[in-house]
Amino acid sequence: MHKILIGTNNRAKTKAVEVVAGKFYPDAIFVNQEVSSQVSNQPMSNEETRQGAINRAKRLMQDFDGTFGIGLEGGVQEISDTMYVCNWGALATKTGEVFTATGAGVALPKEIADSLKEGAELGPIMDVYTNKKGIRHHEGAIGVFTNGFVKRSDMFEHIMLLLIGQYELSLKTQNAKLDLQE
């Protein structure tokens, strides 16, 4: 049986983990544990966002018991005067392995980029921009700026496939090595 630790209570992230992991491991149980990312509340680079995902996943495996821990982190990064959302995921195992993957990015309007540079967080900015509450739990900025075509949970689902794919491949490789030794 798989016990899968999720390092957040965010609903878009949780949905993505449950949908994808639930497909591969129908008997899985999911446990949400809010853990610190140990990076800024609003990561401003690919590096920082990736580190936040890794920190969450590792922290889960240090503090709790599970088959693996999933850290998902959202951030932004500026490339040639355009601010993009960036997203990372990490899967940490009991044995200390950490798999990482990045997700889709989409450009943000200049006024949002300016607010971010002034120190505001994307979550609250998006709520003001859309006049809705909790966008970060639902379609997210990526949904708002893609006409709803790719929602935040869809994007994290893709990251989850990338993570579980790498994890399953590593298990296969380990099993193949064991077979050779026998």
Interface residues toward ligand ITT, by CB under 6 A: 8, 10, 13, 41-42, 73-75, 85, 121-123, 126, 135-136, 140-142, 152
| Residue among 8 and 115 whose Cβ is closer to ligand ITT | 8
22 CB-contact burial (10 Å; exposed 0-12 / middle 13-18 / buried 19+): middle
Measured distance CA(90)–CA(77) in Å, rounded: 18
Report, in Å, the least distance between residue 19 CB and ligand ITT.
17
Report, in Å, the least distance between residue 73 CB and ligand ITT.
4
> Residue 109: CA atoms inside 13 Å, Cβ hemisphere, count?
9
Contact indicator for 81, 117 with CB cutoff of 8 Å: no
| Residue among 30 and 170 whose Cβ is closer to ligand ITT | 30
